[in-house]
Structure formats: C-alpha cells, structure tokens
Structure 1
Amino acid sequence: MKNPKLYAVSLDLAFKPEESWRLALEEALEPFGAALVSFETDGGKGWHMEVIGEEKPSAAAVKAALKPFAGLTPVIAPVPDKDWLAESRKGLAPLKMGPFFVHGEHDRGKAPKNVIPLEIDAGMAFGTGRHETTSGCVKALLRLAKSHKFKRPLDIGTGTGILAFAAWHLFKVPVTAGDNDKDAVRVARENAAINGLRKAIRIVTSDGYRAKAIRAGGPYDLVTANILANPLISLAPDLARHLARNGRAVLSGLLVAQEKDVIAAHRAVGLELDFRIRQNDWSVLVLKKAARPPAGKK
C-alpha cells in the first residue's frame, strides 16, 4: 500500500527556548498537522520543531499563526517517502518503569525475567512511557497500589493505552478507557490485543466523560487522566461527579507552574490534593474527595 503524501512545517531555532514559550509555539503549530515532534539540537544549544500532516498548510495561515513569535522562518515542504515506522524505531530502546518493561515490536521477546512486558507502538497516539508525565503517572499508580485495591478504574485520554494496561496489571480488574481521537482509540485497541488485554480493557471514543459507556460505568474508584492542564481544569466538574467517595484521581500533563490553577479548579468542586510527584518541570497530582464540601455545596 502506498503511503499518503505528507507535508511538514518545520522550524530550526538557534537557541533553546524557555519551556512556556516552547509550549506556546507547539500549540500554534499543532493545527497544521496530526503529529508534532520537538527536540534539542546542537548539543542542547538549539531546537527543532516539526508538525506533519496529510494536507499542505497555507503559507499565509502558518505565517499568521506564528506572528506572535517574531523572527521565525518556517519551512513548508513535502515529507520524503520513507518507512516512518521503521525510522521511528531506530534508537528507541526498551524502557524500565517499576515492574514494567515497555518496548516496541522490534524488541518483542527480549524482556528480562521478573518484569511485566508492555508492547507499545504509539503510531499517532501519545504515551510510550518516555515522557515524564507518563512515567510519573505509573509511579503514582505503584504508590497507590501499596495501600489501595481499586475495583473500577477509568483512563481518560488513554492515548496508546499504557496507563490502562498498567492499571489492569496492578489491580487485575476490568478497565474502561476513552479518548476523543479516533486514531488513538484504534492504536490503543491494537496495543490491547497485542498485550493480550483485548477483553480486559474496554476502549471507547469519548470526549472526556461523555460516552454512554463511561457515564454508565461509574462511579470510578480510580481515574487517570494524562492530558493537559486546560482540559483537566475544564473536566474538573465531570471528574467530581464520576469519582467514588474513597477514590483517587491521577492527573498529569501539566507543568509544575500550572499546579496551582489545576488544584484550585478541583478544590472548587470538592476535590483535594492527596499527594504529588514532580519530575523535572512536570507534575502528577493525585486527588481525592475533600473531607468537607466546598463552600456553597452540601
């Protein structure tokens, strides 16, 4: 099957941008493609950013989107026809996260003894375990597993499905997972089948908690959501409605600098901080129902 024609909008910076500036720039580029990469170059002195999609972006639209970032010169060009799956696998070594051995298809059968292998091929979805938010969520789940026996987990914004798979292995109960991106749902289902979890993990297309399967399945005593700060804030009332009284919510995808806003939004709907995990600039917040309801609510 012939690969579809792809186009890229790329930027090469002669400096390493500040975190907030970089995130804003990534957000400006995201609408022009389906996959975005962003990484250091020149030994940490520079930065490369690229978004790839099937439609050629309008140069005028790209220029307008980058207007707040003065002095940038984006390059819009066709992407060379390559086996991108094979390219992405080069140098992608297996990853050890607690008891989990996360690897791609190219390392199948190479897991050492006494680990739980998880084969994760991301495709167009987020969550290979290599980002601080994913590994931080796994650390939070491992900590919770020492004192809790969850019976009804839910993963919002499941991406590759990695957190749902980790929850199943830790608690050995059926897991519901949802994502608003159909490509992510497809990838997560494929990964579930590869890992022998097709019947254990129910994966649905859902914008937050809106899918009937998610609304009908609650309340949940464990909710994981590794998305972004703004969606977490928007979904706070839904989380409060769907979280069981003694449940825990593991939230990430936010920077340490965004903790205050995310916690405040959840405190307003009756949730409070249980504990947090910080890894570099990123944060994982574990929330629970507050002992007392917020002012004005009973």
Structure 2
Amino acid sequence: MDAFELAAIPKSVYQGECFVIATKHHKSIALAPAFSSRLGVGMMEYYADTDKLGTFSGTTQRKLSPIEAAKQKCLWVLERTNADFAIGSEGSFHPHPDMPFINANHEVLYFMDRRNNIEIYETSISTKIHYFSEIVSSQEELLNFAKQARFPSHGILLCPFPKHAGQKFFQEITSFEKLIQHFNEAKKLSTEGKVWVETELRAHLNPTRMKHIEQLGHQLIDRLISHCPQCKAPGWGQKKLSTGLPCKDCGSPTNAIAAEMISCSQCQHIEEKSYMPGENADPRLCPVCNP
C-alpha cells in the first residue's frame, strides 16, 4: 500500500497494525481486503483447530454460544501469540428469530484489543443461505443434487444413511471424481444402500456464507472507525433498543420501540436517539387501549 492509498483511508488508531484471526477455514480471504483498504491494517491467520468448539456435521457438539465461541477464538490468539489485536468469527444456522419458518445464517465477529483493553463484537442475520440436503441411492440422484447445490463452487459432505453417532463422514468434497468415489464408499457402508448428502456450511467451502462474513466485516470496521464522543475510544456504536413508544390514542407507553441507545464499551457513555421521531404507536399495540 503506497502513501497515496494510506492518505485516502479514514483516520484510524489501528492504521499500520496487524490483526490476527483464529481460523481453520481461511476466513481472512473474506475480511482482509476491507480491513486493509478501510482501516489500513494487515491481517494474518493463526491456524486453530476451531472444530474443537463444535462442527456443523455434529461430530463435535457445540457447548458455547456463537458469541462465546467467537470470543474464545480471540483468546486463543492472545494466549498463544504475541499479537495485540485478535479477531474471532463464528457462524450458526437456525430459524430466523422473527420468522421461525425461514432458516437463517447468524454470524458473529469478535474483536479484542489487548493494548487498549477493548472488546467489541458485531452480529448479523441473513436469510441468504445456500444449504441443501437429501437422501440419495443412485449416482443419477447424486448428480441431480450436486447441480442443485451449485457443486463444485459449494462443497459437499456425505455419509452413510441412516446417520448415527460416531459414523464416518466424507468431507471437503470439491471435485466430481471425489464425489462419486466417496458416494460409492458411503453406500457400501450403509445398511440400507443409501447416502445422506448435504451442502458444506464451513466458510471456505460455502461462498454464500463467506460473502455474509465479508459484509459483517464492514459492519465491524464501521465500529472501529467510530470514536466515543466522551472518551474517544474506538468502537462507539454499541446499540440497544428501548420500548415505550407512546400510544397514538391515549399516550400510554407501549411495547413498540421508542429509542435506540448508543453506547461506548469503554466508558459506558450512552446517547439516546429517537427510533421513529414524531411517530406514535398503533393503539392495537397498547396495553391500555387493547388489553
């Protein structure tokens, strides 16, 4: 990066530093370009066996929440390297909290700054997921599934059906040769001559998920270039919504969102911003008008 490029970057306390991300699945590919162009920082990977915290295939059960897991990855970096700045990423797939009939990808990016004792994280939920699963018994069915799953740009994993604890999984399949080879192996191991096949959800094998991580990276950068108006620490923008929007008819507080509380993770300074200026809540949401 030359002097002209650096001059174009918004002033950041981290300019010229190096962030280290704990990853087994090459997530720096999604994050490094934006962190370089917008923050002026480099990014290195610390290889960590993050599968110990849980796997999508279920071979290792998850015991931590996504936020806790992302933080643990940061701690690995700070405990095992000389880095002062760590990033941890964790993803999960589950029903959307507001639309339980739709599956969603929940991503977390956690940042720890040992030098300045700063910890912040950002989360994002996306319904733009690419995941398919099916039980197949023939090569024709397998190839039809592969086409639907956008193979080989998106990886595939498979295992003998029915699935059971401790069974063999064939993972990181990204070529038709390996797909057919492992399908035949799994079919031989199946008591029913059937194979469970599904889209890989690990980031390096799922470009759709990797794109979501990239977008969340920009969200974290927005926090890092925002400084608290009180103590000037980076990371301003921790948000919490508060309810109590007045009823349009009687003026009583309702459960509708009234304000957005923006705070600093360092000095705890808080500013309140009206969520819907000049608006009132629908009387149908009012516990007085509509008990």
TM-score of the pair, normalised by structure 1: 0.20
Q: TM-score, normalised by structure 2?
A: 0.21
Higher percent of residues as helix: 1
